[in-house]
Amino acid sequence: NAGVTQTPKFRILKIGQSMTLQCTQDMNHNYMYWYRQDPGMGLKLIYYSVGAGITDKGEVPNGYNVSRSTTEDFPLRLELAAPSQTSVYFCASSYNQGLNTEAFFGQGTRLTVV
């Protein structure tokens, strides 16, 4: 059982470049999330989705876009990379929201923008 899979694990981007962070889950979860973790900081929600075709902004959505065309996939798009987007990105999924609804996280993507 793969769980939540993120690719790539590492990436270096130049300022102004674009890229897509891939996330897929095989647990048939409705909810999917993208978080970023800056050094010494907690996880901040970028975008989330409650089901295919539905997405919503989190705490720090600026500079990012998402889509949810299938239940399994939730890619995160960076259009014009900036040094402030250097971070570790985590994708997560959960069956529902609320108590006893643990979120399963991927291993993370470490992104550096130079």
Partner 1 sequence: DQQVKQNSPSLSVQEGRISILNCDYTNSMFDYFLWYKKYPAEGPTFLISISSIKDKNEDGRFTVFLNKSAKHLSLHIVPSQPGDSAVYFCAAGSTLGRLYFGRGTQLTVWP
103 binds partner 1 (CB under 8 A): yes
Tell me how many degrees the CA angle 64-70-72 measures, rounded to the nearest 5.
90
Min. distance of Cβ 43 from partner 1 in angstroms?
4
40 binds partner 1 (CB under 8 A): yes
74 binds partner 1 (CB under 8 A): no
Peptide bond into 61 cis (omega under 30): no
Three-state SS at 105: strand
44 binds partner 1 (CB under 8 A): yes
Residue range at the interface with partner 1 (CB under 8 A); choices 19-27, 32-40, 67-75, 78-86: 32-40
**34: nearest Cα among 88, 100, 99:** 88
Asked if 29 contacts 48 with a C-beta cutoff of 8 angstroms, the reply is: no
Q: Which residues bind partner 1 (CB under 8 A)?
A: 4, 33, 35, 40-45, 48, 58, 90, 92, 97-100, 102-108
